[in-house]
């Protein structure tokens, strides 16, 4: 545990890594401390977010501390007056050794080298060495460390152990026990993070085998994290298995749109096709985890009901034609907007801007998606960006699931034009008859009943096909980048919105269709974004002031790294 003093500053200590002084935070272990010095202590079983077991023995280093005279307690000095270092006679594991002032560490000595060679050799004697058909190849610690720290040849001539292969241990995870190096990361994850202890070892010694408890399977919504933390190819994702070599994958930082937690993710794609989504470390949001449910969201890109065609009353048309008609509606008569909590901050802001050019008051709603939070990385608000709509001023209250006000307004003819973005309002209390009454412009990624009866259909890009930002439950602005190009014919980036804005304003209000340009506008218009720019938002996100919304009854309960305000007030 790191020691934090009251003023939130970490105390530091100076240690010596291979004789080079390095200042490191007090209380961290040697694996982390040596990393501060820019060197590597290879390790398998150690994981920064799990308990330390110290069983792989890969992180053995030599360690010594300044000696003190037993009788007087005075520091012992050598002939030159330097502190005398008392070296521990045996190598120590870096993961379980915490730094202390003046500590010396050898990470490159011949003993350390020999230790690593030994452990590497041992790990490989019963390993099937089936890298050519193994999904982990290319991101396998066993491969990497064998190359970096191994001897490069084998002295093993005996029969290898035989263990179960391609075992289904859950709906999404496949296990190959022969590849397992018994680091126990997955077991600890299930116990400590997922609260679903179903994995364990059976048998003993080299015959130890990972398996699920009798009658149990690894089916919790965090099971695929075991695949991520497995340092070898023992646990593989059944979905990703044999689909793509990992070195071909382009990695794009993204955000999980499942809930307002906003897990940081990496989207792996090749040639415009997404193959997998894995978590990206953010210690303030999701640590190194994400729910399984967020990993299949890439399927929306090629979903059967994906909408990729601009059309007017069911007739395919050019993008400009559809946008012009939409702007014509907006400029004539009373309009309203139904936006989505799944839109980016930029899109939500552009909608407020578009609304500002429409005559009269243009009310806007969001459709709520509330469900039970799991207390971990799925919050009760299943919209990733309700706070974006609040901050940009698109809405001023917590959304509801039923649009009763809008329903009444449509019924009474108070709303003549309706822009629906990314929602199927027939699921939110609006009847098809009511839709038919107004000029409905549907901007969305999927076909639905709303699209069916809308006058104008404009295809929307998914989160994977555009760049932008979301504001999560912590009021943390988080960026996502474009992983794959959008469908053929769909305007890129924010163009749908910026072109509609230009058309509505007679070409007077023009913004470049990039998040950076929209952020320049937002920084000027919105207090919370003052002095922020898109490029200045760090990859781990930027917290913004939330005071303006302190009284709103947000629905989120406690989750990882998040304590709801109301709960804090109650406590």
Partner 1 sequence: MSLETHIARKNLAIHPKERRIILKHADRPDYDASIDCYLRNGGYDQQKKAFSMKPEEICQEVLDAGVRGRGGAGFPAGMKWKFLDRKSGKPIYLICNADESEPGTFKDRQIIHKDPHQLIEGMMISAFAIQAAQAFIYIREEMPYGAKILEEAIEEARAKNLLGDNILGSGYSCDLVVHRGAAAYICGEETGLIESLEGKRAYPRIKPPYFPAALGLYMCPTIVNNVETLCNVKHIIEMGGHAYAEIGKPGNTGTRIWSLSGHVRKPGYYELENGVHTYGDLINEFGGGLRDGRQLQAVIPGGSSAKVWRAGERFKGKLRSGEEFDWAIEDVPLDFDGPMAAGSMSGSGAVVVIDDSVDIVEVLANINAFYAHESCGQCTPCREGSLWMKKITTRMANGGAREEDTALLASIGDQIAGRTICAHGEACAWPTQSFVAKFQDKFLDKAKQDPEQLSKRDFRMV
Which CB atom, from 206 or from 539, has the smaller least distance to partner 1? 206
526 contacts: CB under 8 Å, gap ≥ 6: 349, 391, 392, 393
Q: Quick check: 110 binds partner 1 (CB under 8 A)?
A: no
- Where are the extended beta strands (E) located within 397-528? 417-421, 439-444, 456-459, 468-471, 476-480
Q: Quick check: 181 binds partner 1 (CB under 8 A)?
A: yes
Residue 360's closest CA among 339, 330, 386, 390? Answer: 330
Stretch in the footprint of partner 1 (CB under 8 A) among 69-77, 117-125, 302-310, 443-451? 117-125
Per CB under 8 A, the list member of 27, 64, 91, 493 interacting with partner 1 is: 91
Tokens of 402: 């039923």
450 contacts: CB under 8 Å, gap ≥ 6: 420, 423, 424, 425, 426, 430, 435, 440, 442, 444
Q: Quick check: 148 binds partner 1 (CB under 8 A)?
A: no
Q: Quick check: 351 binds partner 1 (CB under 8 A)?
A: no
Over the window 42 to 81, marking each residue x when it contacts partner 1 by CB under 8 A and - when it does not, the resulting string is ----------xxxxxxx-x---------------------
Stretch in the footprint of partner 1 (CB under 8 A) among 152-160, 249-257, 411-419, 500-508? 152-160
Q: Quick check: 149 binds partner 1 (CB under 8 A)?
A: no
For residue 318, give Cα distances in angstroms to 311, 351, 380, 444.
7, 21, 40, 16
Whole-angstrom Cα distance, residue 120 to residue 57? 10
Which CB atom, from 147 or from 206, has the smaller least distance to partner 1? 206
Per CB under 8 A, the list member of 11, 23, 78, 114 interacting with partner 1 is: 114
Q: Quick check: 446 binds partner 1 (CB under 8 A)?
A: no
Quickly tell me which residue has 């809930």 as its tokens: 259
Which CB atom, from 97 or from 478, has the smaller least distance to partner 1? 97
DSSP secondary structure code for residue 466 in this structure: S
Tokens of 467: 């760049």
- Asked if 338 and 367 touch (Cβ cutoff 8 Å), the reply is yes
**Total binding residues toward partner 1, as defined by CB under 8 A:** 37
Per CB under 8 A, the list member of 206, 356, 402, 404 interacting with partner 1 is: 206
**Shortest Cβ distance from residue 67 to partner 1 (Å)?**
18
Whole-angstrom Cα distance, residue 426 to residue 439? 15
Residue 412 half-sphere exposure, CB side, CA atoms within 13 Å? 8
Over the window 469 to 508, marking each residue x when it contacts partner 1 by CB under 8 A and - when it does not, the resulting string is ----------------------------------------
Stretch in the footprint of partner 1 (CB under 8 A) among 109-117, 245-253, 363-371, 416-424? 109-117
Q: Quick check: 126 binds partner 1 (CB under 8 A)?
A: yes
**Shortest Cβ distance from residue 146 to partner 1 (Å)?**
13
Q: Quick check: 201 binds partner 1 (CB under 8 A)?
A: yes
For residue 497, give Cα distances in angstroms to 162, 421, 461.
60, 10, 11
Whole-angstrom Cα distance, residue 347 to residue 327? 16
Which CB atom, from 213 or from 242, has the smaller least distance to partner 1? 213
Q: Which residues bind partner 1 (CB under 8 A)?
A: 52-58, 60, 90-91, 93, 96-97, 114-115, 117-119, 121-123, 125-126, 155-156, 158-159, 161, 181-182, 201, 203-208
């Amino acid at each position: 545990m790191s020691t934090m003093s009251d003023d939130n500053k970490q105390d530091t200590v100076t240690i010596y890594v291979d004789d080079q002084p390095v200042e490191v935070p007090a209380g961290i272990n040697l694996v982390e401390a040596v990393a501060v010095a820019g060197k590597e202590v290879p390790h398998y079983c150690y994981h920064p977010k799990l308990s330390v077991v110290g069983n792989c023995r890969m992180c053995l280093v030599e360690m010594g501390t300044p000696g003190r005279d037993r009788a007087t307690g005075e520091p012992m000095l050598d002939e030159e007056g330097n502190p005398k270092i008392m070296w521990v006679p045996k190598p120590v594991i870096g993961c379980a050794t915490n730094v202390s002032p003046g500590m010396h560490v050898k990470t490159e000595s011949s003993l350390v080298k020999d230790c690593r060679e030994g452990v590497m050799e041992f790990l490989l004697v019963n390993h099937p060495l089936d890298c050519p058909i193994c999904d982990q190849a290319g991101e396998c610690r066993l491969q990497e460390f064998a190359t970096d720290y191994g001897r490069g040849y084998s002295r093993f001539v005996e029969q290898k152990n035989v263990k179960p292969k391609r075992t289904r241990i859950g709906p999404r995870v496949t296990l190959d026990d022969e590849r397992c190096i018994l680091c126990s990361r997955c077991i600890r994850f299930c116990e400590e993070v997922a609260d679903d202890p179903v994995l364990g070892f059976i048998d003993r010694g080299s015959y130890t085998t990972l398996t699920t408890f009798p009658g149990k399977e690894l089916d919790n919504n965090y099971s695929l994290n075991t695949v991520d933390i497995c340092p070898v190819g023992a646990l593989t994702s059944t979905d990703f298995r044999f689909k793509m070599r990992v070195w071909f994958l382009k990695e794009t930082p993204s955000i999980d749109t499942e809930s307002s937690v906003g897990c940081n993710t990496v989207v792996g794609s090749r040639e415009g096709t997404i193959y997998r989504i894995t978590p990206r470390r953010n210690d303030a949001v999701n640590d190194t985890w994400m729910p399984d449910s967020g990993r299949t969201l890439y399927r929306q890109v090629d979903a059967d009901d994906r909408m990729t065609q601009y059309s007017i009353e069911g007739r395919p048309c050019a993008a400009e034609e559809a946008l012009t008609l939409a702007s014509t509606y907006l400029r004539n008569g009373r309009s309203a907007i139904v936006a989505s909590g799944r839109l980016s901050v930029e899109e939500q802001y552009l909608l407020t801007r578009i609304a500002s050019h429409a005559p009269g008051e243009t009310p806007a709603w969001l459709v709520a998606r509330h469900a039970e939070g799991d207390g971990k990385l799925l919050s009760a608000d299943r919209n990733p960006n309700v706070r974006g709509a609040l901050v940009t001023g698109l809405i001023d209250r917590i959304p509801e699931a039923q649009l009763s006000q809008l329903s009444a307004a449509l019924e009474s003819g108070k709303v003549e034009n309706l822009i629906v973005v990314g929602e199927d309002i027939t699921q939110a209390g609006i009847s098809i008859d009511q839709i038919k009454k107004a000029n409905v412009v549907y901007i969305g990624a999927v076909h639905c009943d709303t699209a069916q009866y809308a006058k104008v259909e404009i295809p929307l890009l998914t989160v994977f096909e555009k760049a932008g930002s979301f504001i999560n439950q912590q009021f943390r602005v988080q960026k996502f980048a474009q992983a794959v190009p959008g469908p053929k014919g769909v305007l890129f980036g924010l163009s749908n919105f910026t072109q509609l804005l230009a058309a509505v304003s007679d070409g007077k209000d023009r913004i470049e269709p990039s998040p950076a340009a929209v952020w320049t506008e937002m920084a000027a218009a919105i207090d919370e974004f003052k002095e922020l720019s898109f490029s200045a938002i760090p990859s781990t996100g930027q917290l913004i002031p939330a005071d303006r919304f302190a009284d709103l009854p947000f629905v989120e309960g406690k989750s990882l790294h998040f304590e709801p305000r109301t709960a804090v007030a109650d406590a």
